[in-house]
Amino acid sequence: MFIKEIIERIQSLYSRGVSSDESRLSDRHVYNKMLSVRMQLLSQQLKKKQRVSDWNYTVLPCVELIKVPNHECSCLGDLGCDVYRTKYPIPKVLTDSNRHFIEFVMSIENSIRIEEVTRQGVLYLKGNKYTGKKPKYLFENGYLYFPIDKSPGIVKIKLLAEDPLEARKYPSLCEDCEDCTPYPDYPFDIDGDLIEPLIDICVQELIGIFERRPED
């Protein structure tokens, strides 16, 4: 379902639940509430170990990497190799207390899967002749860092974005022109069976906010 269709349904149900002529909400306000509830519903699924379908994920197909000074990511230390990172911060990723939901990082031709390494895991890279040669990335301060001798130049990233629209607008090295599609004309990235619960929760929470407003 498209973003504008969900917004229209929420606006319609919301207007029936409040009587004030000043109750009209901006579409952007409704969209932000949709994002909040989407994260809530997906987080519930993930905590229950339920599968989150590919429909909820976003693939960044051509993410450019640039070489940076080794000291830029101090937690990497001196690994005896070059350090590359994504040119721009990646879109905000849905997280819980244990992890952030990056499904994969791969070379653009899908031949090499690049595994994540934690801050603690970095300590073992330099001295391990086996794992030290395998490509790794570290997620730090919104960027992905790659301690690697030969950069692939471009990578593909699949992630569970907090805002799928932000992810769709992420700069792609493979595209020459910017996508200027108005945001309401995009599909809203959520499973079909979660659309009705999302609409219901959005309406309830928005009406609740209106009813708690102090009267003049």
- What are the tens digits of pLDDT across the range 14-37? 988 876 666 678 999 999 999 999
Residues 17 and 37 in one domain: yes
Residues 88 and 115 in one domain: yes
Average pLDDT of span 36-61? 93
Total structural domains within the chain = 2
Is 202 domain-assigned? yes
Closest by CA to 143, choosing from 70, 91, 69, is 91
DSSP letter string over 3-52?
HHHHHHHHHHHHHHH---TT----HHHHHHHHHHHHHHHHHHHHHTTPPP
Residues 95 and 63 in one domain: yes
Highest mean pLDDT among 31-40, 77-86, 123-132, 203-212: 31-40
CATH number of the domain that residue 102 is part of: 2.40.30
Alpha-carbon gap, residue 179 to 113, rounded angstroms: 28
Contacts of 180 (CB under 8 A, 6+ apart): none
Q: What is the three-class DSSP state of 204?
A: helix
pLDDT in tens, 198-216: 999 999 999 998 877 766 5
**Residues 123, 126, 129, 134, Cα dihedral to 10°:** 80
Is 184 domain-assigned? no
pLDDT in tens, 143-172: 999 988 788 889 999 999 999 999 999 998
Contacts of 133 (CB under 8 A, 6+ apart): none
Q: Containing domain of residue 40, as a range?
A: 3-53+189-211
Residues 154 and 70 in one domain: yes
- Sign, CA torsion 2/103/53/202: negative
Residues 193 and 120 in one domain: no
Residues 156 and 74 in one domain: yes
Closest by CA to 75, choosing from 136, 145, 142, 133, is 145
Alpha-carbon gap, residue 93 to 95, rounded angstroms: 6
pLDDT in tens, 106-122: 998 888 899 998 877 77
